[in-house]
Structure formats: structure tokens, C-alpha cells
Chains A and B, each alone.
Chain A
């Protein structure tokens, strides 16, 4: 399969993380955080997801580059995994 899942997945979490973090920054000190015990969860969790998404993207890109260098993957039963 030539679509590396890590790329769309990384992209999605990067976007979600960025949105959450940006929203968190714009709502600093807002009373909505009374629910989450006074913690601005949007900033913190947004940053966590951002880091996760970016590292997925990075891994996916590296995997793709490596796959491009190799000859087309031949999948035979018993052959060692390669590429991902």
C-alpha cells in the first residue's frame, strides 16, 4: 500500500493540536476553565497533540523517503517487513 497512514494522521493531529492551543491562548483566564479545575487544558493538551502530530508527520516523511530509495516492495509470505 503506497499511502503511509502516518502522514494524514500526523496532519490531522497537528491541525487539531494547533487549533486547541490557539483557542487556549485566546481564552487565557476565561471562566470556562472552572470546569477543568482552573487548568487551561486547551493550551496544554493542544501542545501535546501538536507534538504528537508533528512527530507522526516526521516519521511518515522519513518512511516515504526511505521507501522511494528502495526498489518497489515485493510482499512475499515469510519475507521480512520493510519500508514502514
Chain B
């Protein structure tokens, strides 16, 4: 079904050549560990800004947001309007002065400077595990997608290789490429390639959205082809039963906006590392704000394909009779597979991998494979040529997500685990070599995770679950650490442990309706049912955050505070205002923040 020609392969190959070429070109600049792990702290703000969002533009974004768009409609845009933009503004204006100004080389290292060794160790360990997990899921998703789209089938058949090897081939191919360019050029290489991937993703997906919209009859045509509530971001959000996601305004605002969104954008070293690589304080503060500008428009690029896929007509098996020259009767039958016919729009029904038959819910409805929404759009609209570009963009998105995780892992492993606990006082060369080998190790672990990653039907939900256990309590720690000088190391440590425990406990005691106890929750006992897994995730995050917040305050008050002189540059009230560069007022980060905020509000009103 997938007919790739030489042009498609040429474009894909060209991309790989450039990605590796950038790695090789940067190798000679990698002289110290600072060059390797922190990009020498010398990159311009626009590059770091685009890498900041590109690091997040992995599988969960491109495939997951398309899947979410098909499943929940425009309500998915809350992940941008509530989840990302306010947090990105907050981290740029208020938190970056401490990350950048403290001279910490990683987020866990900031925790050591502000709190103590054990808080750093805890955060470094959980973060290292999480990055490997994320990058493994990204790899798994990519390999599964390549299999489902039959990208390499033609290549394998012509080579006479068994097609069962495609999964492994895809994983090894992406792992080797990402490994090579990070091994050579470190964070600079990862950041440069993330920017390249950012533009490539736009180049691949923008024509898709334009063609999709044209086909369905523009914006009004889209409105007419999907259920009404799919086209509204805010309407019906006041109550769980009146919106497709099954969440209510408090869970959404608190859970997604205040806890999950901030937990991710303000504390995750995966994105923060790109801002910390920029050349001065003013640039570092501008990085998340520059990133927020394209982020505002991303719903058009990643959610809309999913929504369009649901709105388009479902293909059916057709037979047509036509009369050829000389009165010949021609029967033409287009056979559509059963799972496609039972799907909705271009979203096919899920196939049971054992029986090969479509799967059904308890009520007899076909179970839809939402993750195929965006990829099917590519196959549906793109002829050969631009199809190669679209598939390359898809691959690029997977790689950028993976690369961000891998560079975050090698930095945290080398500085926060190896240098702190395994081998102190080594030479700079030694740590750089360790960083290179940590890259290899991290990728190996990701591959192992990829083979273990099964059982989830939506990548987005999986990652949100992981984030809610590890990241959600984290934001409370940073908030108190940066804005309350009385917070102590013992308090932060106890708070983090309690927060994660509270998240697990809440997850173990609640269950989304229509789910069985187990991986979706309720593995201790089922005390409460949520209308959807999304609502459950948000509330897990709220519980984790609140538990951490309260326990940190109580334990801090009971323990001895650090002298104020040690906290200068780490706590808001004890730090002089960041130096203003000699720029005009409208170039300042604050002015940019206001502009971004106004744009975001305007877009939310448009989607109301």
C-alpha cells in the first residue's frame, strides 16, 4: 500500500547525511566538558528557543497530540493554552535567573546548591530513569509506526531479508544516528539538530494541514463534519460530562496548568538544558519565551491533522462498473480492509495482534487506533516526493525527542551521579569521555525499554502518568525553593518522597470508568471512579503536588534553616534583580512575555 520511490529515499537520506554532518562538523569544537554538556554556554537565543520546543516535539507531541485531537477534539489545545504557555512564561521570567545565575550545570545540581546532597541524588536518579523511559517509549513508538506504515517493507523484500526484522532495524537505525551525532558534538549537536528537526516538522506537516483543510471544505467544512463539542476548547469545560475529555475546570486548571504543565516546562532538565546553553542571562530568559511563540501555533500543526482525520469520510469498499472502448464492461472493485471500514474517518479500528480481527469495546463499538490518525493523513494526502518529506519529518520528530532525553541523561549521569558519588576529582577529559560513554549506555537502556514498552494504547497517557508520578511533586519543591527562603533540604527531600508516594497511592486507589484495575489504576482498591484517564492523571498530579507542598513546609519549619548568606542567587527575595542589558524596553524578556500572553489569550478566544 505504501509506494516509496527513489525521490522519497533521496530526501530521507539527505536528512540523515545532514544530521550526521552537523555532528562531524561540531566534533572539533568539543574541547572541554563544558563544550560537550553545556554547548559552551555560547549559543544565540533563537537557536536555543527553537530547540527548547523541539526537544519536546517528540513522539508524544506529533503522534500523541494528533491522536488526542482525533479522540477529544480541540479541547486538546488546553495542553498548549493552559499546560505549556503560562509555564513557559513563568520559567523565563521568574525561574531562569536562578537556574542560569546559580551557575549550576544541571537541574539536579541546582537542587544541591539550594537544598542538599540527598535531594539532588533523589532527583538525579528519578530523572535519569525517566529520561531513559521516555526515550525508550519514543523508540518503541517509532518502530511500531514504521512497521504499521510498511516504510521499510520494500527495502526488506528487495534485499531478501525477513520482514520480522523491521522493528529491530528501525530501532537500531534511529539509535545509531542519534548516538553518532551526540557522541560527536554533544549538546550543541543535539540542539542544532533539534532546530533542523523543528523546521523539518513544519515543512512536513504544514502542507498536510492545508491539503486536509482544503479537502474538508475549509474551517466551516471541518465544523460541519465533526461533533459540535469537538470544535470548542472551553465550552462545556465547566462540568466533566459536557466535554469529550471528561474533565472539569478545577482538575484542568490546577492539574494541567499549575501542576503538570509547570512541573514539565519549569523543572524538566530535558527542556531547561537548552535554555541553560545560551550565551548570557538575558538570552537564557528569552529562550522559553521565544519557544512559546511557535508553541502557540502548534495546535494547528499537530492537533488539526487528528481532527481532520476524524472528520473526513470513512473509506468503504466500492465497486464501479464502467464501459470501456468497444463496449467492454469493466468492473472495478476497491477493497478496503475491515479495520479501516469499521473505523471513523481515516482513523482505523484497532486490530488484535493475535487474531488479526478488529477489536471492540464492551458495548460493541470498534476500538479506534487513534495513534494512526496523523500517519494515515500523511499516506492519504501525500503523493510520492512530498511523502518522503512527510515521513522524514515524522522520523525527525522521534529523533529530536530521543536526542533531548539522551543529552539530559548523559549530563545528569556524569555530573550528578558519576562525578558526585562514583569518581570525584577526575580530569575534565575524563568526565567528557564518561559523558560520551554515558550516551552509549543511555541509548542501550532506551533500547531495552523499547522492547519492554507494551500494554498502552495511547502514548500520551503513558507519559502523562510517568510525569505525574515524578514531575508533579517536583514543581512544589522548586516553587518553595526559589520563593521561600525558609525551605530546607530535609523539608524538600521529605516532600518529594511524600509527593511521589501520594501520586502512586492516588493512582492505586482510583480508576477511570471502563478500565480494568491494573496498569490504569485501582491496583490497591477502587475507591473512586473518574470519567476519563485524563481526569485521573490531572488529579493524581494535584494530590502529589499538594502532599509535597504541605510536607515540605511542615518539615522545613521543624528543621534548621540555612543562613541567608548562603542562599544569595538561589532564592528570589535574597537575589538582586537580573542585570538589564542595554536594550530598548521592547526587547526585554518582560515585554516579550506580555506579547506572548496576549497572543495566547487571543487564540483561546478564537477556539472558544
Contacts and interface: CB of A to CB of B under 8 A. Distances in A.
Interface stretch (B9-17, B224-232, B313-321): B9-17
B47 A45 contact: no
Interface string B7-27: 100110011001001100110
A9 B191 CA distance: 13
Contacts of A39: 211
Given A9-B195, A12-B14, A81-B283, A1 B384 contact: no
A5 interface: yes
Given A16-B14, A78-B281, A35 B25 contact: no
A16 B39 contact: no
A41 B207 contact: yes
Contacts of B188: 1
B386 interface: yes
Most chain A beta carbons < 10 A, residue from B25, B29, B211:
B211
Contact of B281 (A5, A11, A77): A77
A8 interface: yes
A77 B282 CA distance: 9
Nearest to B204: A45
Contact of A41 (B7, B196, B211, B582): B211
A37 to B, nearest CB: 6
A53 to B, nearest CB: 10
A84 B15 CA distance: 24
A57 B188 CA distance: 20
Contacts of A41: 207, 211, 382-383, 385-386
- In this complex, the interface size class of chain B, counting residues with CB under 8 Å from chain A, is 35 or more
A80 B203 contact: no
Given A1-B29, A3-B29, A45-B207, A80 B195 contact: no
Given A37-B214, A42-B383, A75-B41, A81 B14 contact: no
Given A8-B192, A81-B279, 4 more contacts: A39-B211, A42-B383, A46-B385, A77-B579
A82 to B, nearest CB: 9
A84 to B, nearest CB: 4
B54 to A, nearest CB: 12
Contacts of A79: 280, 581
B29 A15 contact: no
Interface in A1-42: 1-3, 5, 8-9, 11-13, 15-16, 19-20, 23-24, 27, 30, 32-33, 35-37, 39, 41-42
B279 A33 contact: no
19 contacts: A5-B196, A11-B18, A16-B15, A20-B386, A24-B385, A30-B383, A35-B381, A35-B382, A37-B214, A41-B383, A41-B385, A45-B386, A46-B385, A49-B203, A79-B581, A81-B45, A81-B279, A81-B283, A84-B46
Contacts of A75: 41-42, 279-280
Given A24-B385, A78-B581, A12 B279 contact: no
B499 to A, nearest CB: 34
Contacts of B196: 5, 8-9, 12
A19 B11 CA distance: 8
Contacts of B215: 37
Contacts of B581: 78-80
Closest 5 CB pairs of A and B: A32-B383, A84-B44, A42-B385, A12-B18, A78-B579
B384 A32 contact: yes
Nearest to B392: A16
A6 B18 CA distance: 12
Contacts of B435: none
A81 B45 CA distance: 9
Contact of B211 (A9, A36, A42): A36
Interface in B50-74: none
B280 A81 contact: yes
Contacts of B382: 35-36, 41
A79 to B, nearest CB: 6
B26 A23 contact: no
A80 B583 contact: yes
B199 interface: yes
B283 A36 contact: no
A1 B31 CA distance: 12
A83 B47 CA distance: 13
Interface in A43-84: 45-46, 49, 52, 75-81, 83-84
B18 A8 contact: yes
Contacts of B583: 80
Most chain A beta carbons < 10 A, residue from B15, B18, B381, B383:
B383
Contacts of B195: 5, 9
B43 interface: yes
Contacts of A30: 383
Contacts of B207: 41, 45
A18 to B, nearest CB: 11
A77 B43 contact: no
Nearest to A78: B579
A39 B382 CA distance: 10
A27 B6 CA distance: 13
Nearest to B50: A5
A15 B211 contact: no
Contact of B44 (A8, A19, A24, A81): A81
Contact of B389 (A5, A16, A76): A16
Contacts of B380: 35
A32 B207 CA distance: 16
Contacts of A46: 385
Contacts of B282: 78, 80-81
A52 B382 CA distance: 21
Given A37-B214, A80-B583, A3 B279 contact: no
B2 to A, nearest CB: 12
Contacts of B45: 81
Contacts of B21: 8
A5 B7 contact: no
A5 to B, nearest CB: 5
Contact of B280 (A3, A35, A78): A78
